[in-house]
Amino acid sequence: MAEVVITSENWEEEVVNSDVPVLIDFWAEWCMPCRLVAPIIEELAKEYEGKIKVGKVNVDEEDELAMKFRIMSIPTIGLFKNGKMVGKLIGARPKADFVRFIEKYLNEDTSQKEESLEVEITYDNWEEEVVNSDVPV
């Protein structure tokens, strides 16, 4: 399955009402790291066909979506279930990182789980919560 161009107009249909999780590449034409990631995202779309939907959001054209999901750096790869972002990766990375990211969320039931985005950072949990975090802190 080819990547789907996601816009504000088709967001509800393509992401919120999707039967499968949606991996979205937030990118821009001028972004060189985005261009490096693009072929990897294309490969993932083919390899995970039927398990996930892969979409692309051009942040220059869809600034409302970028603001809604607080996209501050690109490329940002977000994984959505039931229209909610359940995880994201920022920056150009090797394919193995994206595979681990997808597999983590495919094998996890987030539909019933409401997870707080706030975590108290202490000296004891600094490394676990900040240094080793797979989401921006």
Q: Per mean pLDDT, which of 19-23, 81-85, 115-119 is the most reliable?
A: 19-23
Q: Does an H or E element contain 104, and which?
A: helix 95-106
End-to-end, the C-alpha distance of the chain in Å comes to: 33
Q: Note if 31 is an active site residue.
A: yes
Single-letter code of the amino acid located at 78: G
Q: Which of 6, 34, 40, 90 does the annotation list as catalytic? A: 34
**Residue 48: predicted pLDDT:** 94
Q: Which of 31, 40, 54, 57 does the annotation list as catalytic? A: 31
Say how far apart CA 114 and CA 128 lie, in whole Å: 21
**Residue 122: predicted pLDDT:** 75
CATH class of 4-118: alpha beta
Helix or strand or coil: residue 25?
A: strand
**Residue 13: predicted pLDDT:** 93
Kindly list the domain boundaries of the chain, sorted by start residue: 4-118
Q: Note if 34 is an active site residue.
A: yes
Q: Compare 72 and 135 and report the one with higher pLDDT.
A: 72
Residue given tokens 């892969």 in the structure block = 54
For the chain, the helix, strand and coil percentages under 3-state DSSP, each to the nearest 5: 35, 20, 45
